[in-house]
Amino acid sequence: MKKSNFFDKIVEYKISDNYRLFALPDFITKIQNGAGSANIKYFNDRIYEIAELDIEYPQKRSLLVTMIVIPREIYAELSGNPYGQSINGSYNPFDKIFRTALYIDEQSFENWIFERLAILHELSHVVHGAFFSLELREGFAEMLPFYILDLEKEYPEHARKIADLLPEEILTIKEVRQRGYNPPNVVKENLPISLRPAYIATYLLMRGILQRLTKEFGGDKIVALNRMLTKFAEFSVLAKRMELKDEMIWRFAGLDAGEDYRTLQLEAQAEIVELAKELPLPSYT
């Protein structure tokens, strides 16, 4: 099947007000007969976790997650995911506000129950896609689950890994840009996404920005998040016009001339160091 044919043939299947699927008619029939039902429930529960946050989306919309289920043979080509299977965010041809859809291959949809963190990460791309698409978006997709939803407590190995990093072990944003998120040596190590150096570096930056905003807004993370999203949306338009890229983050974060991303990363790490002290010790067997 060719790419163009696929988008002409798929049909919509509504799961809830916040969640709809697009798939080929034969596959929709399979779903109606129970295929992938465990995953549908699982995705729906994760979507609910994000939908119930009071995020103020453009045009007063509520969260709408569009999931496009694709035969595995054409998944890599359509989704841009080089692994040829699994789930990832990509352009949403069906909605003007939620510009990121989740692309998933049919077999993974039917058979593979995904990790909660992985799904919350992908849904975070849907969230920021309604506001901006910066090159540091992976940091946002880590920050929302780990900071806003407090998942650091559920993944103690993540908090401990970050707490133990020496400052020189945290990649600078410049290094992230040069190396990309998944350079071949890191992919070969098969590290979970959240433990890859570039994901940690951009997570710490996003978290550092949001920690400051949260303090500014009396500890309210959601007010801070809404503020961040609105500002990023504004600056994103400006930056595109002026080809500024990340300078917008500098300005928005109100950094002094002498400060840099480093300060924000280290502020975030310091909070995680405190948090890691409360977490259960690793068990050795």
Specify the stretch interacting with Zn ion by CB under 5 A; choose among 1-9, 138-146, 224-232, 258-266. 138-146
In the complex, residue closest to Zn ion by CB:
141
Specify the stretch interacting with Zn ion by CB under 5 A; choose among 22-30, 59-67, 134-142, 269-277. 134-142
User: Least distance from C-beta 229 to Zn ion, angstroms?
Assistant: 17
Specify the stretch interacting with Zn ion by CB under 5 A; choose among 61-69, 140-148, 245-253, 269-277. 140-148
Q: What is the dihedral of CA 55, 117, 268, 284, to 10 degrees?
A: 150
User: Least distance from C-beta 22 to Zn ion, angstroms?
Assistant: 21
Taking phi first (over 0 means left), then psi (-120 to 50 degrees means alpha), and beta for anything else, what does residue 181 get?
Answer: alpha
User: Least distance from C-beta 143 to Zn ion, angstroms?
Assistant: 11
Within 10 angstroms of residue 92's Cβ, the number of other Cβ atoms is 22
Alpha helix stretches (DSSP H) within the chain: 3-9, 25-32, 37-51, 72-79, 106-111, 116-129, 137-143, 156-163, 173-179, 184-189, 197-216, 221-242, 247-252, 261-278
Contacts of residue 238, Cβ cutoff 8 Å, sequence gap at least 6: 244, 248
**Residue 68 burial (10 A CB sphere; 0-12, 13-18, 19+):** buried
What is the end-to-end Cα distance of the chain in Å, rounded? 50
User: Least distance from C-beta 209 to Zn ion, angstroms?
Assistant: 18
H/E element holding 14? Answer: strand 11-16
- Over the window 93 to 132, marking each residue x when it contacts Zn ion by CB under 5 A and - when it does not, the resulting string is ----------------------------------------
Closer to Zn ion by CB, 39 or 194: give it.
194
User: Least distance from C-beta 66 to Zn ion, angstroms?
Assistant: 17
Residue 141 engages Zn ion in binding (rule: CB under 5 A) = yes
Closer to Zn ion by CB, 105 or 138: give it.
138
Closer to Zn ion by CB, 34 or 80: give it.
80
Closer to Zn ion by CB, 110 or 138: give it.
138
Closer to Zn ion by CB, 193 or 223: give it.
193
Closer to Zn ion by CB, 137 or 212: give it.
137
Residues touching Zn ion: how many (CB under 5 A)?
A: 2
Q: Quick one: which of 191, 175, 193 has its CA closest to 261?
A: 175
Closer to Zn ion by CB, 35 or 229: give it.
229
Q: Which residues bind Zn ion (CB under 5 A)?
A: 138, 141
